[in-house]
Amino acid sequence: MKRLLSILAGALAAGVVGYVKSGDEPTATGVALAFAIPIAIIAVGLPGFRSLVPAAGFVALMLIFGPAERTEGSNILTDWAFLWMCFTVAALLVTGWLVVSRRRKASRTQ
């Protein structure tokens, strides 16, 4: 339940950032749904509410590096795509590292 609440809080914060940066609701919804994926990946590796810290980091980085305005002839969601890919790759690497680290610790204690 704590993981689900962490994912929902992170997705809500990502949606707020998407709305602040773009100014329209459809983009905010798309950004919230898209950035819920890396937040959920991080939530798999971290127990309880500890996944709120990386989610807050993601949201802060979204505020800093997210696109503030549309470039000529592009969709605002495609402007968010590079940042989303970076977050997703980082979340996969961190989660993989945590899983491998836990397995190594478990095999040492036996």
Question: Which tens digits make up the pLDDT trace of 8-65?
Answer: 888 899 889 888 888 788 888 888 888 889 988 888 877 767 778 888 888 899 899 8
> Dihedral sign, CA of 60, 62, 67, 68?
negative
Mean pLDDT to the nearest integer, 64-89:
80
**Which residue in the block uniquely carries the two structure tokens 């905010």?**
28
Q: Residue 70 — very low, low, confident or very high, per pLDDT cuts 50/70/90? A: low
Sign (positive or negative) of CA dihedral 43, 34, 17, 95: positive
109 or 4: which leads in pLDDT: 4
* pLDDT band with cut points at 50, 70 and 90 for residue 89: very high
Please report the pLDDT score of residue 110 as a whole number: 64
CA angle, 58 then 61 then 63, to 5°: 110
Element housing 51 (H / E): none
26 token code pair: 């459809």
Q: Within 10 A of 4 (CB to CB), how many other CB atoms are there? A: 10
In angstroms, rounded to a whole number, what is the distance separating the alpha carbons of residues 25 and 18?
Answer: 8
Tokens 């992170």 sit at which residue? 10
Is residue 28 within 8 A of residue 15, CB to CB? The reply is yes
- What's the predicted TM-score (pTM) here? 0.79
